[in-house]
């Protein structure tokens, strides 16, 4: 007989779905509530680069960040944009990021990320076999390419963590880059193939498959926007335009919007959004895997729907209108990188990375509110870390021993 309390999750992006998957595996009855369906364009989980980048563990806050950040803000070609209207508002968050940039904090954050990514590698591969996802998630590796020696050398710290935590990588010279990716222009002096990373051929399709799987296992999907969460005698009341929904146990997995929801309970977390864009072009046959141009911070990803180019970080909050100008300016770089690219845009997209100043998600029970759990703030690595996050949160909800130390992800660290 199932003794677990039913669990309600707000948010059916990759994090909510993965939490539902691991709870269902434990016999917990789950209801997922979201304004949209899994795989909808509104989700960050829709329009990302689809890379399960296991060896990518370097946090945003790194020693010397203030200088690097200043240079980026002054460089009109930089991949970071902050509109004037948001510059004052973002300062407190940027100060928190800078505080995470000491050598000690940087090392601690990288190590916690490495442990979460290690667990994700195990969990993703188990899931791929169990749900037969081999046609959607492929063992392609993740290729970083460099035009200069200097930016290759900047990878030294990242390589040291990859070696310590057992993530596979190969360093490539320009000929070797051309051998594995003959369609790339011969402009790259170096490559770094993170060979144990995976890639998703179409992220929205993966989310839809997960929904189908979960529905077949009894998970309920409710389509509703939640406007506020209230505590009541036996749990929570979720308010929306329709009737309030009562639940005993609740997880907030609402991505970049999580803080808005949690503020109705008086909770404050330093969650920002690093907005990111993609453009879609015709496929370029012969490009075998996602490739990132490290100097231009631009990813070209072969997807079922076409060639997706992702780029940029824009700090402008959740409400500002999309500004496609910076990513459009990168098309010329994409063509230089991949000469066969047909540069006629087929689609453009803006999405909201949910980001914490220490580049680590919150995966945690609420320290004071009984029955409230949270998983949000995965920044650039939500697809990568989704599988581990779902498992860790399910273990916390069910009171089990956890596979990795949950403390670095605890909400009480703020």
Ligand X SMILES: Cc1cc2nc3c(=O)[nH]c(=O)nc-3n(C[C@H](O)[C@H](O)[C@H](O)COP(=O)(O)OP(=O)(O)OC[C@H]3O[C@@H](n4cnc5c(N)ncnc54)[C@H](O)[C@@H]3O)c2cc1C
| Interaction between residue 382 and ligand X (CB under 6 A) | yes
d(CA 109, CA 59): 7
Return the number of the residue (178 or 324) whose C-beta is nearest ligand X. 324
In degrees, rounded to 5, the angle at the alpha carbon of residue 57 between the alpha carbons of residues 88 and 186 is: 95
**Which tokens belong to 152?**
């290759």
d(CA 17, CA 224): 16
Return the number of the residue (42 or 63) whose C-beta is nearest ligand X. 42
Return the number of the residue (353 or 391) whose C-beta is nearest ligand X. 353
| Interaction between residue 11 and ligand X (CB under 6 A) | yes
Site string for ligand X, 235-254 (x = CB under 6 A): ------------------xx
H-state helical runs in 26-102: 44-47, 65-74, 84-99
| Interaction between residue 42 and ligand X (CB under 6 A) | yes
| Interaction between residue 302 and ligand X (CB under 6 A) | no
**Helices vs strands, H then E, count in the chain:** 13, 21
Residue with tokens 């697809």: 383
Task: Determine which residue in the list 9, 10, 97, 206 makes contact with ligand X, applying CB under 6 A.
Answer: 10
Q: Do 121 and 142 meet the contact criterion of CB atoms below 8 Å apart?
A: no
Query: Segment contacting ligand X (CB under 6 A): 19-27, 107-115, 122-130, 351-359?
Result: 351-359
Distances (CA, A) of 146 to 117, 187, 191, 235, 408: 24, 9, 6, 52, 32
| Interaction between residue 34 and ligand X (CB under 6 A) | yes
DSSP H or E segment with residue 313: strand 306-314
| Interaction between residue 53 and ligand X (CB under 6 A) | yes
Site string for ligand X, 310-349 (x = CB under 6 A): x---------------------------------------
Return the number of the residue (253 or 300) whose C-beta is nearest ligand X. 253
State the residues that interact with ligand X by CB under 6 A.
10-16, 33-36, 42-45, 48-51, 53, 225-226, 253-255, 257, 261, 276, 278, 310, 351, 353-354, 376, 378-384
């Amino acid at each position: 007989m199932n003794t677990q309390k039913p669990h309600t999750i707000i948010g059916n992006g990759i994090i909510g779905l993965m939490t539902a998957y691991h709870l269902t595996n434990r016999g917990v009855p789950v209801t997922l509530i979201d304004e949209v369906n899994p795989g909808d364009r509104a989700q960050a989980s829709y329009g990302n680069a689809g890379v399960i980048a296991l060896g990518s563990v370097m946090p945003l806050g790194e020693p010397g960040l203030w200088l690097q950040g200043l240079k980026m803000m002054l460089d009109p070609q930089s991949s970071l944009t902050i509109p004037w209207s948001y510059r004052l508002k973002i300062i407190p968050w940027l100060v928190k990021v800078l505080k995470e940039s000491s050598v000690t904090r940087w090392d601690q954050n990288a190590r916690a990320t490495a442990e979460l990514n290690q667990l994700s590698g195990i969990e993703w591969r188990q899931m791929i076999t169990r749900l037969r996802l081999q046609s959607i998630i492929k063992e392609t590796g993740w290729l970083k390419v460099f035009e200069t020696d200097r930016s290759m050398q900047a990878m030294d710290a990242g390589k040291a963590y990859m070696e310590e935590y057992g993530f596979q990588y190969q360093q490539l010279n320009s000929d070797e880059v051309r051998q594995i990716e003959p369609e790339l222009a011969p402009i790259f002096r170096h490559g770094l193939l993170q060979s144990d990373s995976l890639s998703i051929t179409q992220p929205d399709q993966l989310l839809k498959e997960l929904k189908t799987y979960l529905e077949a296992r009894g998970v309920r999907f409710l389509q509703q926007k939640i406007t506020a969460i209230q505590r009541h005698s036996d749990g929570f009341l979720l308010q929306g335009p329709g009737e309030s929904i009562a639940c005993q146990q609740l997880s907030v997995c609402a991505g970049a919007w999580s803080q808005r929801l949690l503020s109705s309970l008086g909770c404050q977390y330093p969650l920002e959004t690093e907005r990111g864009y993609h453009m879609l072009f015709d496929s370029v046959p012969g490009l075998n895997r996602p490739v990132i141009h490290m100097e231009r911070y631009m990813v070209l990803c072969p997807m079922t729907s076409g060639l997706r180019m992702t780029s940029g970080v824009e700090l402008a909050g959740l409400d500002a209108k999309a500004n496609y100008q910076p990513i459009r300016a990168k098309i010329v770089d994409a063509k230089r990188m991949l000469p066969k690219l047909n540069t006629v845009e087929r689609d453009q997209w803006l999405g909201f990375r949910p980001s914490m100043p220490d580049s680590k998600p919150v995966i945690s029970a609420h320290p004071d509110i009984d029955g409230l759990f949270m998983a949000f703030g995965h920044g650039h690595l939500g697809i990568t870390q989704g599988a581990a996050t779902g498992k860790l949160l399910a273990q916390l909800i069910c009171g089990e021993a956890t596979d990795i130390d949950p403390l670095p992800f605890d909400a009480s660290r703020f």
